[in-house]
Amino acid sequence: MSLFPPVEPYHREHLDVGHGHRLYVEQSGNPDGPPVVALHGGPGGGSSPLLRRLFDPYRFRIVVYDQRGAGRSQPYAGIEHNTLPDLVADLERIRAHLDIPRWELVLGGSWGVTLALAYALAYPDAVAGLVLRGVFLCRQQDIDWLYTEHGAARFYPDHWQRLLDALPEDEGGGDLLHRYHRALDGPDGERLAREWTLWEARLSSLTPPAQLNVDHNALAMARLESHYFVNGGFLERPLLPRLGELQCPVEIVHGRYDMVCPPEQAWLLHQALPNSRLHWVAASGHSTMEPAITQALVRSVKALSRPRAAASSDSRSGRYTPGSA
């Protein structure tokens, strides 16, 4: 199944959520349809028109927004009053503001998985189903995979060396993550933000394009990711031990060769969720734009948007049967 045709929003606004933050929020599709919301990655990645096209616009009321500091939200790249609890509260504010009783689906990718799970744990009655792609659990080992020499750096040593070489001399010392976090606020911040974002972009697809353009979101990605990751994602408690509380159906889509979020995270998530189905996507990495990932997401949205009785017919003892895509 391919993406749905492009669709333009029928409503756009900036929602004031306090402390100087105004979130860009758009709605498209069917205003009277079941409401769905898409959560972008990063933190700081910003939304994309691609997210709208994962849903049938004739059926769904599609809500897409930019999280604090990202995309068209204001202030751009702002890190003050920007934590995971703030983002969870923002999503609930959007639901209340739009007079939505319950999200039919919450779709999240990468960091959007962390946010979707944290939101569903905080507001379980507000979520009927989850579609999760490129699972990021935001444990310390998941952060270390990306920003120490013991993880993805072993597969991409040339790109890792470029990331290291870009850093200026720093008397403060410390690991790469903390050095970037300090340097991004300095006079060379924009150049360093581009190197930071290119590192992740080069890992995101099995066959990335020859020319990667990250200039549109580099500063927000670098500032927000480093801000969150030096603070452990602002997780008050680890996610995994709490996920048995979630009873809503969950579709998990994960590339077999994801180098941003190693597949172990998807497997652990599947094991922790009592009503989940895991789709391994062959010959694919992390990016939503990889064709097989896109197709698996569209299928997962369709699977969860069936009548609940039909969807549950694929489960055994209340648990979805593992699948593949």
Residue type, 83: T
Contact 113, 45 (CB under 8 A): no
Low-confidence ranges of the chain (pLDDT < 50): 308-325
- Longest Cα pair distance anywhere in the chain, in angstroms? 61
Q: Which residues are catalytic?
A: 110, 258, 286
pLDDT tens-place string over residues 84-111: 999 999 999 999 999 999 999 999 999 9
pLDDT in the model for residue 325: 38
Complete domains list, the chain, with CATH = 11-137+234-324 (3.40.50.1820), 141-232 (no CATH)
Reported pTM: 0.93
What sign does the dihedral 121-127-131-133 (CA atoms) show? negative
pLDDT in the model for residue 214: 84
Measured in residues, the chain has a length of 325
Hey, what are 42's tokens?
């990063």
pLDDT in the model for residue 280: 98
If we measure between CA atoms, which residue out of 234, 262, 319, 289 comes closest to residue 50? 289
Q: Per-residue DSSP letters for 119-132?
A: HHHH-GGGBS-EEE
If we measure between CA atoms, which residue out of 39, 65, 41 comes closest to residue 200? 41
pLDDT in the model for residue 169: 82
Phi/psi for 318 (5° steps) reads 80, 5
pLDDT in the model for residue 211: 77
If we measure between CA atoms, which residue out of 225, 224, 199, 219 comes closest to residue 286? 199
Contact 240, 270 (CB under 8 A): no
Half-sphere exposure of 59 (CA within 13 A, CB side): 12
